[in-house]
Amino acid sequence: MIPALPLRIDALRGARLADGTPVDVRLDGPVVAAIEPAGALDGEPGEALDLDGFVLLTAGAEPHAHLDKALTFDVIAPPLGDLPSAIAAFHTYAITSDEHDIADRARRTLGRMLANGITAVRSHVNFSPGPDPLAGFRALQRVRAEFAGLLDLQLVTLPADDTVDEVHEEAFALGADLVGGAPHLWPDPIAATDRLLDLAERVGVGADLHADESLDGPITLGRFAERARSWSLPRSAGHCVRLGMLREDELAVLVEAIRDADIGIIGLPITNLYLQGWDSPVATPRGITALRALIDAGVRVAAGADNVRDPFNPLGRCDPLETAMLLVTAAHLTPAEALHLVGDGARDVLGLPPAGPRVGAVADLLAVRADSATEAIAFASADRYVLHAGRLVAASVLEQRVAVPAREAVLTATETGAA
């Protein structure tokens, strides 16, 4: 039976680490106090979780979400299509959406994320095109307060090119953490990049830009790197799809600039595989940034899902293991690299303290029923326990019955040709 949550946990027993080692884990409030051989904590008093049959990972962090857009696909019923068509479809809906609607969808999305093991989320927030441009910020500030103690939520502004700086700056009084924006979509992408970075410097908050989200459009990341090279403010960029299409020599120069400026790069496979490549029905390019080159160069890299069930991505499970699966399948990362990008790597890019099953780390943990870390990605079992700062915040117990045919029965059917 699942206990009432949240629940402070003192020990995790019998879990396997990602490398296969069976361990017991002692927690001391919000941090991991000790990792012992499995069985070492048997019989100790306190609240313990039996994790025999589970793999224990760092909890997921979603580094790039759009909680204000999530779960609108079925209401909007847009035609399937590329980024410009998704922007147009959402714009029409957003004019009528209000603070209550945004908060409601954000709550439901965060609930799914938490259930699947995500304990930190960074969401971009649009300025509403309706009469109340700051409705999204008020909604998400309220939802952040409601989820305090369950997950960490960061908010990034996502202005349109006609959002005036005075309105943009008001978002920071309403709890926005970082300047965002999609300068590659504005009429002068380099001037737009400068305008956004100027604002970040003026407000003193850092920037997380939507960068170069097209297969053949402008490149703003070079300018971001040039400007951020002397920054001590937080800095990251999402999408960066254009990098995946560059010639190797062009890419090498840009990747080096990104590394020297220490810009964290956030790849978003599910949404960009969906949005990009509609005009290439054969040999369709994969809309994923150049993850291998970035990793090999030592750039800090994260991965997330971006949109969930809205005009930008009709599907999505709010599941870090879904993103990890796509990183292996579509970006050719190793399973260990994939798990890093949706866990430790994402936390690093979000500026959060280290977490996971290691002594001294924050006890933000995800236990998934699986025999190995790779199997956890492959089967993505719904059987999961999720801890945030040492407290159990989600537990899912799967009851499943399968009428597996007896071997003899299968043989008989085959022999008689009935199969």
Beta bridge partners of 13: 50
Q: Distance (Å, rounded) from C-alpha 53 to C-alpha 370? A: 6
Query: Do the beta carbons of residue 341 and residue 264 sit within 8 Å?
Result: no
Smallest separation (angstroms) from Zn ion to the CB of 323: 14
Q: Are residues 315 and 270 in contact, defined by beta-carbon separation less than 8 angstroms? A: yes
| Closest C-alpha among 128, 123, 130, 93 to residue 107 | 123
Nearer to Zn ion, 306 or 337 (CB): 306
User: N- to C-terminal Cα distance for the chain?
Assistant: 40
Residue span binding Zn ion (CB under 5 A) among the ranges 53-61, 111-119, 167-175, 306-314: 306-314
Q: How far is the CB of 306 from Zn ion (least distance, A)?
A: 5
Of 1-9, 304-312, 325-333, 361-369: span binding Zn ion (CB under 5 A): 304-312
Question: Do residues 188 and 156 lie in contact, with contact meaning Cβ atoms separated by under 8 Å?
Answer: no
Instruction: Report whether 338 contacts 324 (CB < 8 A).
Output: yes
Q: How many residues bind Zn ion (CB under 5 A)?
A: 1
Stretch that binds Zn ion, among 35-43, 101-109, 302-310, 359-367 (CB under 5 A): 302-310
Please, which residue, 306 or 319, has the CB nearer to Zn ion? 306
Indicate the SS3 state at residue 101.
helix
Rounded to the nearest whole angstrom, what is the least distance from the CB of residue 239 to Zn ion in the complex?
A: 7
Q: Bridge partners of 157?
A: 125
Beta bridge partners of 210: 238
Instruction: Output the residue with the shortest Cβ distance to Zn ion.
Output: 306
Geometric angle at alpha carbon 394, from 354 and 137, rounded to 5°: 70
Residue placing its CB nearer to Zn ion in the complex, 6 or 277: 277
Q: Which is nearer to Zn ion, 62 or 306 (CB)?
A: 306
**Nearer to Zn ion among residue 24 and residue 306 (C-beta):** 306
Are the C-beta atoms of residues 388 and 59 closer than 8 Å to each other? Answer: yes
> Judged by CB under 5 A, which stretch of 161-169, 191-199, 300-308, 359-367 contacts Zn ion?
300-308
Nearer to Zn ion, 244 or 357 (CB): 244
> What ranges make up the beta strands (E) of 271-364?
301-303
C-beta of 10 vs 306, nearer to Zn ion: 306
Rounded distance between C-alpha atoms, residue 180 and residue 124, angstroms? 7
Beta bridge partners of 359: none
DSSP 3: P
Task: Give the contact letters, 215-254, x = binds to Zn ion (CB under 5 A), - = no.
Answer: ----------------------------------------
In angstroms, the CA 308 to CA 69 distance is 8
Tell the smallest beta-carbon distance from residue 396 to Zn ion (Å).
28
Are 213 and 241 spatial neighbours (Cβ–Cβ below 8 Å)? yes
Choose the stretch contacting Zn ion; rule: CB under 5 A; options: 165-173, 186-194, 299-307, 375-383.
Answer: 299-307
CB of 167 to Zn ion, least distance (A): 20
Residue pair 273/287 in contact by the 8 Å Cβ criterion: yes
Shortest Cβ 7–Zn ion spacing (Å): 34
Name the one range near Zn ion by CB under 5 A: 2-10, 46-54, 72-80, 303-311: 303-311
Determine the interface stretch with Zn ion among 138-146, 220-228, 301-309, 405-413 (rule: CB under 5 A). Answer: 301-309
C-alpha–C-alpha distance, residues 33 and 368, integer Å: 21
Task: Kindly tell me which of 320 and 390 has the beta carbon lying closer to Zn ion.
Answer: 320
Residue 399 neighbours by CB under 8 Å, 6+ apart: none
Smallest distance from Zn ion to CB 163, Å: 16
- By beta-carbon proximity to Zn ion, the closer residue of 152 and 310 is 310
Residue 88 or 148 having the CB closest to Zn ion: 88
Q: Least distance from C-beta 64 to Zn ion, angstroms?
A: 6
Residues 343-382, interacting with Zn ion (CB under 5 A): none
Which residues contact Zn ion (rule: CB under 5 A)? 306
